[in-house]
Amino acid sequence: MKRASTDPPVPVAVIGMACRTAGADDLTELWGLFAGGARAIGTVPEGRWDGLDPGRVTVAEARAGLLEDLAGFDASFFKISRRAAAWADPQQRILLELAWHALEDAGVNPRQLEGAPVAVFTGSFASEYRDRMIRSGRVDGAALTGTLVTYLANRVSYHFDWKGPSLTLDTGCSAGMSALALAVSGLRAGEFPLAMVSAASTLCDGFYPSAAFRGGALSPTGRSTPFSSRHDGYVRGEGGVCLLLKPLPEALRDGDPVRALILASATAHDGRAGGLTGTDADSQARLICRAARTAGIPVAALGHLEAHGTGTAGDAVEVAGLRRALAEDRESASVRAGGPGGKIWVGTAKANVGHLEAAAGLLGVVKAVLSLEHGLIPAIPGLDEIQPGLVDDGPVALADHPVPWPATATGAARRVGVNSFGLGGSNAHVILEEAPQSRSLEWEVPAGPLVFPLSGRTEQALRLIAGRLERRLGTPAPPALVSVSWTLQHGRTAHPVRALIVADALPELRAALTALAENRPHPLLALPGSPVAPAVLNDLRAGDGGARHDAAVRWLEGGTPYWEKAWPGTVRPPRVALDTPYPFDHAPHWFDTDVPPHPRETGKNRVGAVHT
């Protein structure tokens, strides 16, 4: 990639990501929702916002982007009692599961990090679960650790036995991005080697929406579209995001899967400008310009802005802030904007899944990373009538249609800015750059078949993992087999229910994974105690003194193989994102018997449904 001639700080690599939103349980589903222009927003089921009272505001329909299974959690996986899980804020539960998935996405075995100085920075906005408890008049000792917001970060550090900084911060809707800025600063200062950044939003009580409707923040129609002439407030969304960050030199050294680079992060408060609950274009322009200077690029080098874009009067202010940043940045005067057609294309995830409040900025980062990976700036769904005055013949354009944005043949880096604005005036901006091109794997292909170990806590989980991995390998650009094998050997926790596949070609690996997913035998699939296992492993005896064979046998017997010694060759391939998050076994956990209904059960917020 061609970089600017200045000497910016060392980039920070995004090496792992995980998310959960309305209509999407993982990154693959989320990208499908963005790329397809879907809106997973629907009617709030009765009882979900218990005590909702908008006062004199006429609410035609309370709508939001809601998770299908807010009460669901795999408590036994995290060694938490059912009672403690029931009294724990769903935000805690979501962040535990997403932290695990982010580590898997990075190909990192959590056990290898036990006792390490890994930092955890978590954004927080509110605890509506605690509000719901107060409304019910119920209390339990487990609610002490279950509802204090400090445990949003501290419980993650505790579970993984991480010894770095662990803190929860609240800057309103910019909390997640403020947490990211702290993590980036600490990583560059060498205060810790690895950082988990996260935030979650769960909506289960009527107090906040009652106040927000009365205060004019929420859309009374529930159909507000950002940057549209039909905007009347924001629509809430539910979900969570986790990112795993590491300085780029160390990420490349360690063979981590680099998904994108963070060139700069900047935070600031508006002061008195913009009012107590707003922001102003000048403050936004200063923030964007400062981030660009830190990154060593002109503002015009951005090709895409993932906007805060809430569907309020702030949308026009945000567009004005970007234009002002371009005007005030001297370098941008002679630079063509970095996006397709010489434009900076503006989009927002809130039109798809609602405003995730504390997690909104981090979701914007995830969307930006996926856009770079897939070479597409998704359209803003529902934007068929742009708010007058937002579009002119300048370099700022709204993504009212999908905009292809493939990697350039010249290697010029594509860059994205992400805005996140807090209700109280604390704002953040992050500049991302596409990941550096992967090095060639041609010289890393070993002779003979490769070993692909898989495991789960149950047989059902094992079959689901096999099916998900087969689908990942069936995509147009599957990862190299050597990296898949290495990642499965070194980047996954070994669970008790195990299987092993021996293969040296993609078609046969996919066929064996399909057989495992469908609970069928296959000549390349070995299961503990299976009569065909010796024949499957026989090809592993040659060439290395039987090290691969012995490691495979030990795996099937429930042991911990020394995969490093058994690897066929001296060169270790980089790990890859396999996009196969562990299928947690959810059971409902709620502090009383009034478990909120799944939106799908009401027929009013179906997964992936398009609501306009």
Interval 402-444: pLDDT, tens: 999 999 877 789 999 999 999 999 999 999 999 998 654 444 5
Residue 217 CA to residue 43 CA, distance in Å, equals 18
Tell me the mean pLDDT in the region 202-215: 97
pLDDT at 6: 54
Confidence of residue 543 (pLDDT cuts 50, 70, 90): low
Tell me the mean pLDDT in the region 554-577: 91
Asked if residue 600 has pLDDT above 80, the reply is: no
What are the structural domains, with CATH classification, of the chain? 16-265+278-437+590-601 (3.40.47.10), 449-566 (3.30.70.3290)
* The one catalytic residue among 355, 522, 549, 598: 355
Asked if residue 532 has pLDDT above 80, the reply is: no
Tell me the mean pLDDT in the region 180-195: 98
CA 239 vs. chain centroid, Å, equals 10
pLDDT at 606: 33
pLDDT at 410: 78
Asked if residue 364 has pLDDT above 80, the reply is: yes
* The one catalytic residue among 173, 204, 242, 289: 173
Tell me the average pLDDT of the chain. Answer: 92
Q: Express each pLDDT in 477-497 by its tens digit.
A: 999 999 999 999 999 999 999
DSSP 43-108: EPPTTTTTT---TTS--S--EEE--S-TTEE-TGGGT--HHHHHTS-HHHHHHHHHHHHHHHHTT-
Order of all β-strands in the sheet with 450-456? 450-456, 497-503, 525-526
Asked if residue 564 has pLDDT above 60, the reply is: yes
Q: Express each pLDDT in 287-331 by its tens digit.
A: 999 999 999 999 999 999 999 999 999 999 999 999 999 999 888
Tell me the mean pLDDT in the region 77-99: 97
Q: Express each pLDDT in 119-178 by its tens digit.
A: 999 999 999 999 999 999 999 999 999 999 999 999 999 999 999 999 999 999 999 999
pLDDT at 571: 83
Tell me the mean pLDDT in the region 335-349: 95
End-to-end CA distance of the chain: give it in Å, rounded. Answer: 40
User: Coil, helix or strand for 246?
Assistant: strand
pLDDT at 194: 98
Element (H, E) at 501: strand 497-503
pLDDT at 334: 80
pLDDT at 594: 66
Q: Express each pLDDT in 229-271 by its tens digit.
A: 989 999 999 999 999 999 999 999 999 999 999 999 999 999 9
**Which DSSP category does 539 fall into?**
G
User: Coil, helix or strand for 152?
Assistant: helix
Q: Express each pLDDT in 40-54 by its tens digit.
A: 999 999 999 999 999
Q: By C-alpha distance, which of 102, 97, 67 is closest to 80?
A: 97
The token pair at 83 is: 């009672």
- The radius of gyration computed from the CA coordinates of the chain, to the nearest angstrom, equals 24
pLDDT at 437: 82
One-letter amino acid identity for 399?
A
Q: By C-alpha distance, which of 200, 239, 255 is closest to 23?
A: 239
**Partner residues linked to 247 by β-bridges:** 12
* The one catalytic residue among 101, 231, 304, 308: 308
Q: Is 308 an active-site residue?
A: yes
